[in-house]
Chains A and B, each alone.
Chain A
């Protein structure tokens, strides 16, 4: 099976712009979660989707939003970008059960100038 695919691999944006990141989970996986990874904070949970519904949300401002499509692919959107949004954004999928492990993508490196 193909792994979790994230596109694009790199993004450079300027403050105030918005950005959309994409994640395609492993075939058959219905849960997709998003994490922000920074050197100082490690991985921080953004949100998790299952069957197009957000089941859990982290402590990020409303500028961070996401959605999941019927084919389980997910997108994450960040509006009004700030310098502090520069980070590696990781997507992870799993079949959907709470006792299943996470399968991570390679991430999208976002740089905000």
Chain B
């Protein structure tokens, strides 16, 4: 069964500390992985996707097929990074996204 697991509901870090939001997935084929973010009072929006291999707002994520993980990382957290982060999986060639339950990141001053 296809599944996305985000083990942490809440992650609190201090400003300037490294951040790692964990995401593990279960999928038998070639998945497409994404991170979506929802800032306070804003809409859910795409942060990054694994096929782009890009860094957005200092965040990166590497797809590890051996560990079936797609952890989101940032070396130095900023207060404006405080938000709800969702990891999502899309079956290749389909239009169905499976989202994790989300991790709330709080960056403390």
> Is the pair A98, B93 in contact by a Cβ cutoff of 8 Å?
yes
- Min distance, Cβ A113 to any Cβ of chain B, angstroms: 26
> Is the pair B96, A45 in contact by a Cβ cutoff of 8 Å?
yes
- Min distance, Cβ A109 to any Cβ of chain B, angstroms: 14
A81-107 contacts to B (CB < 8 Å): 90, 92, 98-99, 101-106
- Min distance, Cβ A50 to any Cβ of chain B, angstroms: 7
Total A residues in contact with B, Cβ cutoff 8 Å:
26
Name the A residues within 8 Å of B98 (CB-CB).
45
Q: Which residue of B lies closest to A57 (CB)?
A: B96
A70 within 8 A of B: no
Q: Does more than half of chain A's interface fall in helix, strand or loop, or is it mixed?
A: strand
Contacts A40-B101, A42-B102, A43-B86 hold; do A56 and B43 have CB atoms under 8 A apart?
A: no
Contacts A40-B101, A41-B101, A99-B51 hold; do A3 and B43 have CB atoms under 8 A apart?
A: yes
Q: Which residue of B lies closest to A41 (CB)?
A: B101
> Is the pair B51, A102 in contact by a Cβ cutoff of 8 Å?
no
B100 within 8 A of A: yes
> Is the pair B93, A102 in contact by a Cβ cutoff of 8 Å?
no
Contacts A42-B102, A104-B44, A105-B43 hold; do A98 and B95 have CB atoms under 8 A apart?
A: yes
Name the B residues within 8 Å of A31 (CB-CB).
95
Task: Please give me the 7 A-B residue pairs with the lowest Cβ-Cβ distance, nearest first.
Answer: A42-B101, A43-B99, A101-B46, A104-B44, A56-B96, A48-B95, A104-B43
Which B residues have a C-beta under 8 Å from some C-beta of A?
Answer: 32, 34, 36, 43-46, 49, 51, 86, 88, 90, 92-102
Q: List 25 A-B contacts (CB under 8 A).
A: A3-B43, A4-B43, A31-B95, A35-B97, A35-B99, A40-B101, A41-B101, A42-B100, A43-B99, A45-B98, A45-B99, A48-B95, A55-B95, A56-B94, A98-B93, A98-B94, A98-B95, A99-B51, A101-B34, A101-B46, A102-B36, A104-B43, A104-B44, A104-B45, A105-B43
